Structure 1
Amino acid sequence: MTVDNSLPRCVALRIALAARQLPDTSSGQLLRILLAALDEPLTEIKLNGLTVKDLKNAADGSLREIDGALLRQALSTLKGENEEDASAQIPQPQPYREGEMPHSIRLACTSNSGERLDGHFGSCARFLIYQVSATEARLIAVRPAPNIARLSVDHSAERVALIGDCDLLCVLSIGGPAAARVVNSGIHPIKRGAIGDIQPLLTELQQVLAGDPPPWLAKLRARAAAEQRSARAETTS
């Protein structure tokens, strides 16, 4: 279901963007929740008076268990406070050839705007893919995520396949079944507690790689190194 065409354009856009920030929530579902909380017609003035409590208590309670940070982010979008972030330019990846960054690992980050970690695994707009070593961090790909409106309830498989070449996944939020599927695919998920720029995360990861990484990360790096050697061998053969 799409957002009602009779809505003011700015309201419809805010609802569509806010739905992207909530786990497994379509714009049509969010519209129904807002109508239950605010009644018709939906206006900017009504959205500006909305609270997190209103969202949690509205309709069937489907938003009640969603992480508070995600609800606050969606609420800010509904009020138009994130319009600058939403229109932020999608970052451009840098050239990269397989195997050219020795001892590096590949990281996927869930993102909705700019170069920020601000997405739920099941509803983010895109995955930003980084190749990270102790001395360098490079954005190598931007992969648009599939539209949840056209997928089945269990749509995580397609998203996992999209990042299947990655070693790590960093998310703002992820559901239990989806996290299990990510782990079973050989990808280690990391949940961050707050929305923010990705650069500090990359710096933190580089520092860990430069020091004495924990066993799970050392194992991932060793696996990545073997894959990179294989890629280089195929290139030269």
Structure 2
Amino acid sequence: MKIAFASKDGLSINEHFGWCETFYLYEIDENSATLIKEIDSSKKYEAEVDKLEYKIDCVSEADIIYVTQIGPKAANMVKIAGIYPMKAAKEDEKIEDVINTLQKMMGENAPLWLKRILLKVVN
């Protein structure tokens, strides 16, 4: 599955979805994690809907997006686009820690939300 992280430094989840200028896209499975690419999402838009559509388009390959904050309207638009929005559990949560947690969850009894994503990825 592919996960986009909103980050200023590529190490921690430390950006708001709507303000993020770079997303880091990883592909992970139970045993490995690979940074696929850094996604430039720095283009500015006046209208909120245009900005949100642009950000969603930037991360359209992702199955999950991890951010520090995401507004209800943006979260809804992200879900409609088929991407699962997640908020970091704490400020400056490490990307590596989130990946390790997800891999552990994949190897054990994955929660329903994660099973749905994994089934979508397989099909």
TM > 0.5 fold call: yes
Equivalence for 2:52: 156
Distance in 2 (alpha carbons) for counterparts of 1:111 and 1:220: 22
What 5-or-longer segments of structure 2 have no aligned partner?
Answer: none
**What is the match of residue 29 of structure 2?**
133
Q: Which amino acid aligns with 2:55?
A: R
Distance 1:153 1:220 in 2: 28
Question: Which amino acid is the alignment partner of residue 109 of structure 1?
Answer: F
Q: Distance in 1 between matches of 2:122 and 2:37?
A: 19
Alignment CA distance shift 1:219-1:196 (3 Å) = closer
2:84 maps to which residue?
188
Q: Determine the C-alpha separation between the residues in 2 that align with 1:208 and 1:132.
A: 12
Aligned-pair identity (%): 24
* Number of aligned positions between the proteins: 121
Larger relative contact order (CA 8 Å, sep ≥ 6): 2
8 Å contact 1:108–1:127 — kept in the other structure? yes
Structure 1, unmatched stretches of 5+, are 1-104, 227-237
Q: What's the CA shift for 1:196?
A: 2.8
1:114 aligns with 2:10: yes
- Post-superposition Cα deviations, 1:97-153, rounded to whole Å, max 9, x if no partner, equal xxxxxxxx11010011232211000001201001011111111111011333x4423
Distance verdict in 2 for CA 1:221–1:200, change over 3 Å:
same
Offset at residue 214 of structure 1 (A): 1.2
8 Å contact kept, 2:10–2:24: no
Partner of 2:61: 165
- Three-state SS of the structure 2 residue aligned to 1:142 is strand
Q: Which amino acid in structure 2 is aligned with residue 173 of structure 1?
A: Q
Q: Which protein is bigger by CA-based radius of gyration?
A: 1
* Cα distance in 1 for residues equivalent to 2:113 and 2:10: 30
User: What CA RMSD, in Å, does the superposition of the two structures yield over aligned residues?
Assistant: 1.2
Report deviation, 1:216: 1.8
Relative distance call for 1:114 and 1:186 in structure 2 (3 A) is closer
Distance 1:127 1:165 in 2: 11
Deviation string for 1:210-232 (max 9, x for gaps)?
11111221111111112xxxxxx
